[in-house]
């Protein structure tokens, strides 16, 4: 994560309005994805970037790509241009997300569907691929 060989945080949880972390040994882990901040929790906008340790620049108006889950388990893959994190979170809520997470933002935020770039620069980037039957 961030070019380091060790992963420290495995779980983040909230108690009494504060965020806490717990860690433990990593075993049989093949892939880790770093993402954030959270956008939606329990169907409500829940952007708390500073409490989650994200810098101020993630809050700027830009392109964003994120993932969300609806109450019935549908995966939402959303890309939106020229929005703040709070506006992006509101989009997820309108789409029925119970929980959502920002994956990427800024000039590198790209979404391709069926081999066609739908949003972003189209330049080659490291990324996340999701293959799902129709």
Separation between Cα atoms, residue 129 and residue 118, nearest integer Å: 14
**DSSP per-residue codes, 106-121:** STT--EEETTEEEES-
49 and 75 in contact (C-beta within 8 Å)?
no
Compute how many other C-beta atoms are within 10 angstroms of the C-beta atom of residue 113: 10
Look-up of token digits 């029925």: 96
Which helix H or strand E contains 89, and what residues bound it?
helix 85-94
What is the pLDDT tens value at each position of the chain, 134 positions in all? Answer: 444 445 444 566 667 766 666 666 556 666 666 777 788 999 999 887 767 666 666 667 888 888 999 999 898 988 888 898 899 999 999 999 999 998 877 777 777 777 777 777 655 555 555 555 55
- Is the whole model's pTM more than 0.75, yes or no? no
Q: Helix or strand or coil: residue 32?
A: coil
76 and 95 in contact (C-beta within 8 Å)?
yes
Half-sphere exposure of 28 (CA within 13 A, CB side): 0
* The dihedral sign for the CA sequence 51, 37, 92, 71: negative
Tokens representing residue 106 in the block = 């800024």
């Amino acid at each position: 994560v961030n070019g380091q060989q060790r992963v420290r945080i495995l779980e983040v949880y909230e108690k009494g309005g504060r965020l806490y972390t717990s860690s433990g040994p990593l075993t049989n882990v093949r892939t880790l994805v770093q993402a954030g901040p959270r956008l939606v929790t329990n169907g409500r906008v829940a952007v708390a970037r500073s409490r989650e340790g994200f810098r101020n620049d993630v809050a700027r108006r830009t392109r964003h790509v994120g993932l969300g889950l609806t109450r019935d388990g549908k995966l939402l893959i959303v890309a939106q241009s020229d929005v703040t994190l709070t506006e992006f979170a509101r989009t997820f809520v309108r789409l029925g997300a119970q929980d959502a997470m920002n994956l990427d933002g800024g000039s590198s935020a790209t979404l391709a569907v069926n081999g066609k770039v739908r949003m972003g620069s189209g330049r080659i980037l490291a990324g996340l691929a999701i293959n799902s039957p129709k």
